[in-house]
Structure 1
């Protein structure tokens, strides 16, 4: 079977897809990982790689991309028209070329590429989720920054979010379907259409972190995290790690604080207030004897060496932090990040979230000083997550279906 695995976004989005691709290749399937060119090294033995010329990291690091990230939830969606749409035709054409001969497409829900490729070529597809995005009455859509709206409100929130997204992006999607793929327009949200058709959904989240909702349909599979082992090394950080007590990792991924210099100063002061060493990523911090500054680094290798990890609460980073078995301090910006912050606290794997809007040295120091009481539950959860084989379960389901 020829399988195309689409990995859009930054490393945290691509790495789980690479894990699926590698396991499929090990079982004898012809697999192509489709992702930004900078992630070619993530394609393991036997996995083909189709590079995308549209680089999400370069977009987010641009001045326009930085403004986009700071624009809040509604501004973020609207920003697709100004930041993403000029590049979208190229992206769609590249994906189309990479997947045209596939027998099966595994695609994230973002962009509904599985649906478009199915409409063009007729091949089946599976939807990849990195957060629990199927309707349930047990909690609202993870993009809603509230713990609950009641069972009816929780379930309704999924349709509301999907309809709002389609209202903002539907015209762009249909223009691209016509101009690039030669397809007719979609009359409504592709998410609702996929649900009516019973398209299988693979959710790469552990049921130990989010118990499977009882009202999910049989087409939704909560498989466990899709981990890619051996995805990097420690390099020059090894000497720093070996030279003293375990440090704290602080990094917010592709999220950019509206005042990065102020936040960087608060991070340094918070680490000093807690009398802890630090490894800082993505902030304008000066290196010192007690602080190291890093670029892109393999979280799955680094996090187990930390006393705690402070991050934005992205789905991939949260999963890696929990699997590392160390306390997580989540500083959500928007999107699904508040949801993951609440889950970490509910699991006893970290303190209550520290939203980036209220980020301060005192708040950070207080949470770091309190991490001791979360170590036991963090370590216990980490041990369970590390023996869970989400990749195997997901690929078993792919082959069975």
Structure 2
């Protein structure tokens, strides 16, 4: 197969797709991975630059989403109010317009070099994916590591947290999945005209409907051991398991290795870019204060705005900007993070008890789910960090049941081949036309 695979955002958004690209190449397929240039090195070395392990497989990385990544890294952490938010939204629209064009150019390059494209696999934030596929006359497969688009009576769309709205309310809540078209319909209509497609994009169009009106396929790369597949899911909704990079691809910095070797397993605490800079110092003070109050060793990841950077004056606390979760989490006693899909997956796979501090989006959903799984205390709202983090840390590391249950879940996830199952599913989709 010749696959155009695209995602954009931060490392957590791109890393699963880099892993999937390498798995496809290992199975003998030709992959063009359209992602921000700064994250191109996430592709495992075996697949990078045209050297996949399969007989004809390779991954070619094309730049797409550089401006969007710059926005997330440099602009959003400086936001402080509604006016900044409005300016940021305008800049985001410009970055989105640029990403549409970059993805189209990646498709044209793949056509020229590989003789065509057989399928477009696109992260839900890559809104040009289905239109490019329609122009090329090939399938488009939507993908997102949370159950956001396929209606089910089992639970509402994850943005409702852990609530239960009843069977009808749960299903109705998935209308939220049309929000992308509602915000960007005029831009997408202009893009269609730019690439020679007729028609305009309606603001309430269903992203799971193909141009001929049939149901489109969607890949949800999370584990059924974490969230069971609802019995009312259609055959076009696929849950293959998590997509992880090979462990050997994630190396820790020397300073992290030295800290880990110097004492007992620490607690990891990090919130990525959550908070976007606002309250970063207060979160840092709360985290360092809670570690001091409990006497726990800690690795604190400041991220892009989650907490104010700078070294700690305590020998038992290491402050870093970030570290690869796949390499670090198995060597920690417990993990505390914002509940992003990627961080949640890494903590569970490592078999570590987890405390979720949810800020927005699907994070309260994963926090509630981990509580139900028995691997986590109640999620802690960010506004309560200063008052309650020390007590919640004590509960997290002092409750043996959390560690036992986390180990059980971790064993199941490590035995699961989400990448292989994803490859198999995609091959079947393309074979069926």
TM-score, structure 2 as length reference:
0.85
Q: Which residue of 2 aligns with 1:367?
A: 392
Q: Which of 162, 173, 195 lines up with 2:177 in the alignment? A: 162
| Separation of aligned partners in 2, 1:365 and 1:304 | 22
Give the CA deviation at 1:289.
0.8
Give the CA deviation at 1:53.
5.4
Q: Which residue of 1 aligns with 2:262?
A: 243
Q: Does 1:95 align with 2:103?
A: yes
| Separation of aligned partners in 1, 2:132 and 2:269 | 39
> Secondary structure of the residue that 1:313 maps to in structure 2?
coil
| Separation of aligned partners in 2, 1:391 and 1:33 | 16
Runs of 4+ in 1 over 6 A off after TM superposition: none
Give the CA deviation at 1:169.
2.8
Give the CA deviation at 1:115.
1.0
Answer with 175-184 or 127-136: which moved more: 175-184
Q: Which residue of 2 aligns with 1:42?
A: 42
Give the CA deviation at 1:275.
0.9
| Separation of aligned partners in 1, 2:251 and 2:3 | 29
Deviations 1:266-287 (A, max 9, x none): 0000111111111111222532
| Separation of aligned partners in 1, 2:282 and 2:31 | 45
Q: Which residue of 1 aligns with 2:91?
A: 83
Alignment RMSD (CA, Å): 2.2
Runs of at least 5 residues in structure 2 that lack an aligned partner in the other structure: 53-58, 112-116
| Separation of aligned partners in 2, 1:32 and 1:365 | 46
Q: Which residue of 2 aligns with 1:215?
A: 232
The 5-angstrom pairing of residues 245-260 of structure 1 reads: 245-256=264-275, 258-260=278-280
> Secondary structure of the residue that 1:110 maps to in structure 2?
coil
Runs of at least 5 residues in structure 1 that lack an aligned partner in the other structure: none
| Separation of aligned partners in 1, 2:122 and 2:341 | 17
The 5-angstrom pairing of residues 42-191 of structure 1 reads: 42-44=42-44, 45=47, 46=52, 47-52=59-64, 54-64=66-76, 66-67=78-79, 81-100=89-108, 101=111, 102-133=117-148, 134-159=150-175, 161-179=176-194, 183-187=198-202, 188-191=204-207
TM-score, structure 1 as length reference:
0.92
Compared with structure 1, are the counterparts of its residues 244 and 55 closer, same or farther at alpha carbon in structure 2 (3 Å cutoff)? farther
Compared with structure 1, are the counterparts of its residues 42 and 64 closer, same or farther at alpha carbon in structure 2 (3 Å cutoff)? closer
> Secondary structure of the residue that 1:3 maps to in structure 2?
strand
Compared with structure 1, are the counterparts of its residues 24 and 174 closer, same or farther at alpha carbon in structure 2 (3 Å cutoff)? same
Deviations 1:234-286 (A, max 9, x none): 12211100111111111112212631111110000011111111111122253
Compared with structure 1, are the counterparts of its residues 290 and 238 closer, same or farther at alpha carbon in structure 2 (3 Å cutoff)? same
Give the CA deviation at 1:92.
1.1
Compared with structure 1, are the counterparts of its residues 320 and 111 closer, same or farther at alpha carbon in structure 2 (3 Å cutoff)? same
Answer with 143-152 or 387-396: which moved more: 143-152
Q: Which residue of 2 aligns with 1:2?
A: 2
| Separation of aligned partners in 1, 2:179 and 2:424 | 35
| Separation of aligned partners in 2, 1:49 and 1:167 | 30
Q: Which of 285, 295, 298 lines up with 1:275 in the alignment? A: 295
Q: Which residue of 2 aligns with 1:227?
A: 244
Q: How many residues align?
A: 394
Q: Which residue of 1 aligns with 2:55?
A: none
